[in-house]
Amino acid sequence: MMQQLVKAIQDQPLADRIADIVQPPARRAFRQTSGAGRTLKNILSGTSIGHPLHPILKDVPVGGWTMAAVFDALAVVAPGKDFERAADVSILTGLAGAVASAVTGLSDWSDTTGRARRIGEVHAILNVTATALYAAALLARKDSRTSRVALAYGGYGIMLLGAYLGGHLVFAQQTGVNHAAKTHLPLEFRPVLPAGELKENEPQRADYNGMPVVLVRRGERIHALYARCAHQAGPLEKGSVEGDSIRCPWHGSRFSLEGGAVLEGPATSPQPCFETRVAAGMIEIRSRERESP
């Protein structure tokens, strides 16, 4: 049944029509290239902590509202103000977490395309609906206990649907998941490009056993990174060199050429980086680490 839900959503043209209106302003709001806006984007994406932030924050509404469901049930078994109050506190905690999750979610969604964008949109609509139901439940509390509990359980059901879609974004669509993982890193030096063909500050694509690599020459130094962006596998060889870093052309993640560290998000994982040398006129590369992440 859940798979059918996903199937119905992922190729739904209506979702695209809504997204075409909502996404461009969201992109503009979140994709700042410098200053505080840039720092904020790094925080919202989770770049600053090395893991996507949205899936961490969402534990607050999911956990809080699960608690509320438990307390509402207990309040029926053992009537009294205390369990009702505990349920209220849980709903309130969940609401605060939901707002924070929504901001990070919107930021993540602004960088999605295709099916992830459509599924993400419905995920957002469901979660906003659940949040609204919980807010209504808190407001209804004073007047009618029954309508309050009904609203809260309705919200929980919708939240679970939204959560399933969120899981689908991660586990099937691989949104927020490291796209530079599982790279088969070369352990011994192999030639990949004649040294004369690499021009200063012009990223160039090469292959190591079919694995895409991007090479950048800066003066005497030659840098080599895995060429598919950790964020969503964007082509780094089409990116731009900025100082001692390279910026992905798709959503603007920036990686250090020296070690592959993420300097700016939305990527949260580092880019695999290679050791280079020139031998017999050829650029040769090999892995720095002995093992893939």
Among candidates 162, 278, 280, 181, which has minimal Cα distance to 220? 278
Binds 37: which of other proteins, ligand FES, none (CB < 5-8 Å by kind): none
Task: Return the SS3 of 103.
Answer: helix
Question: Smaller CB distance to other proteins: residue 178 or 240?
Answer: 178
What is the contact surface with other proteins in residues (CB under 8 A)? 1-3, 51-52, 55-56, 59-60, 62-64, 66-67, 70, 82, 85-86, 89-90, 93, 113-116, 163-164, 167-168, 170-174, 176-179, 181-184, 209-212, 226, 228, 232-234, 250, 268-269, 291-293
Q: What are residue 240's phi and psi, to 5 degrees?
A: -120, 145
Q: What span, in angstroms and rounded, lies between the C-alpha atoms of 284 and 274? A: 10
CB 140 within 8 A of CB 151: yes
| Interaction pattern, residues 225-264, with ligand FES; x per rule: CB under 6 A | ----x-xx-x-------------x-xxxx-----------
82 binds, among ligand FES, other proteins, none (CB under 5 to 8 A by kind): other proteins
**Number of C-beta neighbours around residue 184 at 10 A:** 12
CB of 135 to other proteins, least distance (A): 19
The DSSP line for 263-287 is: EESS--SPPPEEEEEEETTEEEEEE
Q: Which does 89 bind (CB under 5 to 8 A by kind): other proteins, ligand FES, none?
A: other proteins
The option from ligand FES, other proteins, none interacting with 103 (CB < 5 to 8 A, set by class) reads none
Q: Between 148 and 228, whose beta carbon lies closer to other proteins?
A: 228
Whether the CB-CB separation of 213 and 192 falls below 8 Å is answered with yes
Count CB neighbours of 58 within 10 A: 22
CA atoms within 13 A on the CB side of 77: 6
Calpha distance 241→248 (Å, rounded):
9
The residue (of 134 and 217) whose beta carbon lies closer to other proteins is 134
Helices within the chain (DSSP H only): 2-10, 13-30, 35-45, 54-57, 59-77, 81-109, 114-140, 145-171
- The site that binds ligand FES (CB under 6 A) totals a number of residues, namely 11
Helix (H, G, I), strand (E, B) or coil at 186: coil
117 near ligand FES (CB under 6 A):
no
Q: To the nearest whole angstrom, how small is the minimum distance from the Cβ of residue 64 to other proteins?
A: 7
Report the nearest approach of other proteins to the CB of residue 102 (Å).
18
CB 255 within 8 A of CB 267: yes
Site string for ligand FES, 179-218 (x = CB under 6 A): ----------------------------------------
Q: Which entry of ligand FES, other proteins, none binds 253, CB below 5 to 8 A by partner kind?
A: ligand FES
Query: Please, what is the minimum distance in Å from the beta carbon of residue 42 to ligand FES?
Result: 12
Residues that bind ligand FES (CB under 6 A): 229, 231-232, 234, 248, 250-253, 266-267
